[in-house]
Structure 1
């Protein structure tokens, strides 16, 4: 075949290819179908379990077998997505109604992952088998080829309940995402019945029957009045609070016990909640909390906060709602695949698609049943008629040379080649007109069917078949009859599987939390050379002044309501609230300072620390490894940002020191090669924080500053240099931007 070159616009080709890819992800991977409420991976996994015979009343099978079979036959997108879908369908804390019965470690509400698929086992839940897969043998849905056209799979499962609402769904596609909350099965069926009886019913009336989401984790929905607008548009935000109760303890003390959590908190967010509460205690915002313990188990959530005697429990509850994820938001976006395309649906549209699907399923089911009953009636009528002329039929069979001749005689009356005892029998045989199916049944009939009781049973069975045919024809021909059937099935599902509501829905008042004002007082900030920081009372410092100054690298006073400015070698300024630092005894170890800032001590080295309140009234000297110097007014570092750039650095340069100066000191620059340069600080110009500064010392190509010393004229200052003391005052005075003097010891 001759090769052809197709010329096309590159942008057009990319656009078409990306759209094809996006639609593939949207339709075939990420979004559920509005009819059965399942994503393709969920549908294929359940169908594969059905095909493998892993029913609710049979033994569990290894999940690895289920995953492998599903991937090999229907879903060639990797085993992790299949196993993850299988795990989620078994987790009762994620699904309103689990579809898979898992055996083994299938994860926990606290975010623990499931065991590897080679260890866990699973089987279908009874509800899945009876309401999702029961009618697959009745031609109720279309079957389509799988990815390599070696198998057939259902395009949709014949789900009898509104699964999209009952179990909800979440998924991220390309340029769109779905987030549908789970609902109560009984309530959703009541709403579906109401819509079936009156398609013009309003959203408000539907919400009287189905008030809103019913999360498996319980909790309290607090914006009830906003729900009609959310269900009308298909988008919005639902506010959920955890349930907190107060338990009395001995000695007049109390404790707060969290028994239900917001649905978005499941997983790692439980640990984050505990850390947030611990942070509130450490920052003195919740000093009444003496202990935090997570006593949750398979029985349910139980997080206990022990309180001091006389604690204001109501204010503490409000603080938890305000400052932690105990009150959270569930973003609703009811996006699903409807009629082959993604669409954001209202509650009425979802119920409309569900009801239409039920009519389609019921129609196809009863057509199949009617066809089977009509075939059965045909055979029954043939056998009854055969019993009336059984002697003639026996004579035909005995006189025939083969089955073909006998069948031709029974169906069209051909008597050629058949021996008859009399001419009258031959004439009667020529008048026989059994159908092909009846003739086959007569040929396969056993002699015991000629017993009187068997003939009677056959006639009774025929009467039952005729009754079924009449019933099925009535269902298919009369819309009201089919509606009664659908309603009857809904009632049966509700009776078998409905449970009581878990999530309360109300209109709660906005949280009012009065944060206790901290009594403003001065404290001493201490940080040792290992980076462990703390604050202590001024009187404690006065009693231990010598030890505090000797043992710590940074010591200064600040207000307990103020902020600490931390300058690092990367030229950044990090801000930490003094309240966040531990306040305690002099001998307390403290906490690493980088625990409170947006930096890591392994990546950034601290080159200067000070109180923001004090710095804004002072001038700061900045010096870098490459010898760049400048003076900056402290007001430029007054900020609400946790991290910002404190200075501009040249490529490859590092900030070496940041220190307070009054402009009258002597500065000594010390290089790695042993050069020292002493000059007045007044020679360094004042610049903005965004400036790189001026050159303080002429350095050799591979030389760099090792230290910057500052001292007042008239006081003797010495530093250790090559294991000996070097008196800085005795160094020859020079000028900025010179080489300095080489010191040899």
Structure 2
């Protein structure tokens, strides 16, 4: 319910929530996360740049503290967290993220390798020259609409009068509610050429536009290798761009070669560079490649340089393809050209973005030159009045001397009213009655200084009047003639391209698919060792034999297997996890190994391993499952031969757990021992064979909270004696009973 004064309004809660969430979602979409197609900026970026402009932090003035900019922006225009404003400021200053940086940063503004910027109290910033000229110029000429800020104490521009298609040049990325934008950056010169071509030919197609725009141009360089897909991406506004880093081969002494990565995919920036180096190290450790002998990151402020030293006679081409396949040296950039157009989010094609920009340029220039025309017309009116006044200056002086008030003079100059004014002659009176100055002209005459009556000043006034007439003619031509306005916009765009254009950094081509032939590992026998903490490793059988006593004592599981085998790891939750023996680190006996959690999907926090064996042995066996609540069954091992890394090995009842999984051996009987000391010995033939998806049947009847703790298969002398609370129990002396009975109690 909502209380409004004394009135209580009853509403449906779901409707209130729905409306509130829609309002929130639209606020995020329009006022926070998505750029406007006209200036290519999000609100936080627009407000930050406008605030810097208002503070006078121009490109040709000293830097100012970032904290001052952030605080002023937050207090006047953007009432959100200071971190969001500073993050936006930092990104606009980073050359490796923006094709055209809009802010000139001074200090530590982060690095391409993911180092964060220094705190805002340490860094300084100011506007870039192009930002001041092409983004914020002409704001004083009524070119865009101004809106009240959040508390209606200031005015802020609805959009900046950007003179270039910033949405394409700098791109954008953002996550709104239920939608995402991801627009790649492009080359300034190419985009301007495409805009000019569209102005000259409104029916131009996307395919024809791509003669000017080859494709994205990322600040990190690299290669786009699916050129043929770009046409569809630019026509639909969505798709995937395949990126590759640039790899060069350098010759070194001794006939060896180095692979040098000098450019990276745009998506690898930041922490992904460190991950890329780790991925290469893992390929070396896991013996996927033996060609790399050393890895070094020699990147600096001059650019990326990652050096891979290779052994002699290394297969370079295969190694490069392996890097493309196994690491992020080849990656995809998801394109979704979503922006706010005409007040609503819309996925735009390349041509639609350019058309929106052209429409915006015509709108901005129309407002600009209409404002200038109005000023020139006003100036023309004043100048005509002053010129006319110079011709009758003696009369005007006579009127001034004969009047008692300023209003009398104005009425006389504008309306010819002479009541109350003393004149020297009847001719002057008659001439005064014929005066028809405008209000503005009369005000200008009254404010005119005497030195304006000097001959040279009168000539200068006449020249100014002629210039004003020329300006009026120019502005009227621009406003009334589409071609004139179009030519002006083209001229301005060409000037921007000439001053700020640069060479393309990203190569666009149709690259060959990376084909990597993985060398098959030589099959060899190993011993799998895993301790009670879950650390696993494999060693050579000879190493195991030399350290057999220590290995058996320290390891919970010891398995002889081939390095090409797969292992089945089954847990108390009824899950089976498969892992390749090849993924288990191979090394010395005293090596610690690797946590099994990192090799397969096993989760040591929620599961406990109770069975490990090779898939080959499991396939040829029959497994017996026993749960805490006494459910038992036999399952054919072939059911566990699957491709999935994790499956349900058995079905469990509510709050039940698996306590034992064993391969059926030569034993004829099995013994269940419960927590409360009950023992039941049954014939294995009584355990029915079921599917892995079945729960099974009850093997032992349990009282109350009792549960099965251990299961024994007495098929040898050593297995026939157990100890329960320090009491010796001979399993072979227990009477064989029927399934689903209580068994006998161990007397302690």
Conserved? CA contact 1:288–1:307, under 8 Å? yes
Deviation at 1:72, TM superposition (A): 4.5
RMSD (Å), alpha carbons: 2.9
Please state if 1:314 is matched with 2:326.
no
Residue of structure 2 equivalent to 1:581 = 584
State the Cα deviation string for residues 493-535 of structure 1 (Å, max 9, x = none). Answer: 1112111111001111111111112222222111122222111
Residue of structure 2 equivalent to 1:733 = 735
Helix, strand or coil at the partner of 1:584: coil
Please state if 1:237 is matched with 2:247.
no
Residue of structure 1 equivalent to 2:61 = 58
State the Cα deviation string for residues 317-364 of structure 1 (Å, max 9, x = none). Answer: 101111222111222222333333333322222222211221121121
Please state if 1:304 is matched with 2:307.
yes
**1:19 and 1:587 mapped to 2: Cα distance?**
61
State the Cα deviation string for residues 692-719 of structure 1 (Å, max 9, x = none). Answer: 2333434342333333333314446545
Deviation at 1:679, TM superposition (A): 4.2
Among residues 596, 599, 610, which one is paired with 2:599 in the alignment?
596
Conserved? CA contact 1:91–1:98, under 8 Å? yes
Residue of structure 1 equivalent to 2:704 = 701
Deviation at 1:134, TM superposition (A): 0.6
State the Cα deviation string for residues 124-181 of structure 1 (Å, max 9, x = none). Answer: 2221221111111111122234445444332222110011111112233444333221
Helix, strand or coil at the partner of 1:153: strand
Helix, strand or coil at the partner of 1:708: strand
Residue of structure 2 equivalent to 1:164 = 167
Helix, strand or coil at the partner of 1:89: helix
Among residues 278, 282, 296, which one is paired with 2:281 in the alignment?
278
Among residues 667, 689, 694, which one is paired with 2:670 in the alignment?
667
Distance 1:229 1:588, change over 3 A: same
Distance 1:30 1:109, change over 3 A: same
Moved more, 462-471 or 179-188: 462-471
**2:652 and 2:197 mapped to 1: Cα distance?**
70
Moved more, 452-461 or 371-380: 452-461
**2:469 and 2:612 mapped to 1: Cα distance?**
95
Among residues 482, 485, 491, which one is paired with 2:494 in the alignment?
491
Please state if 1:413 is matched with 2:432.
no
**1:373 and 1:728 mapped to 2: Cα distance?**
115
**1:299 and 1:519 mapped to 2: Cα distance?**
43
Unpaired runs of 5+ residues, structure 1, are none
Correspondences of 1:198-597 after superposition (within 5 Å): 198-597=201-600
Unpaired runs of 5+ residues, structure 2, are none
Conserved? CA contact 1:533–1:591, under 8 Å? yes
TM-score (norm 1): 0.92
Residue of structure 1 equivalent to 2:88 = 85
Distance 1:674 1:292, change over 3 A: farther
Among residues 142, 147, 170, which one is paired with 1:144 in the alignment?
147
Moved more, 48-57 or 155-164: 48-57
Conserved? CA contact 2:720–2:732, under 8 Å? no
**1:137 and 1:596 mapped to 2: Cα distance?**
64
Residue of structure 2 equivalent to 1:180 = 183
Residue of structure 2 equivalent to 1:692 = 695
Conserved? CA contact 1:627–1:704, under 8 Å? yes
Helix, strand or coil at the partner of 2:488: helix
Distance 1:726 1:543, change over 3 A: same
Residue of structure 1 equivalent to 2:111 = 108
State the Cα deviation string for residues 361-406 of structure 1 (Å, max 9, x = none). Answer: 1121111111111212222233333334444433433443332222
Conserved? CA contact 1:716–1:727, under 8 Å? no
Among residues 649, 653, 656, which one is paired with 1:653 in the alignment?
656
Helix, strand or coil at the partner of 1:635: helix
Conserved? CA contact 1:219–1:240, under 8 Å? yes
Deviation at 1:78, TM superposition (A): 4.8
Helix, strand or coil at the partner of 1:615: helix
**2:710 and 2:122 mapped to 1: Cα distance?**
61
**2:603 and 2:669 mapped to 1: Cα distance?**
33
Alignment coverage as a number of residue pairs: 744
Conserved? CA contact 1:100–1:122, under 8 Å? yes
Helix, strand or coil at the partner of 2:211: helix
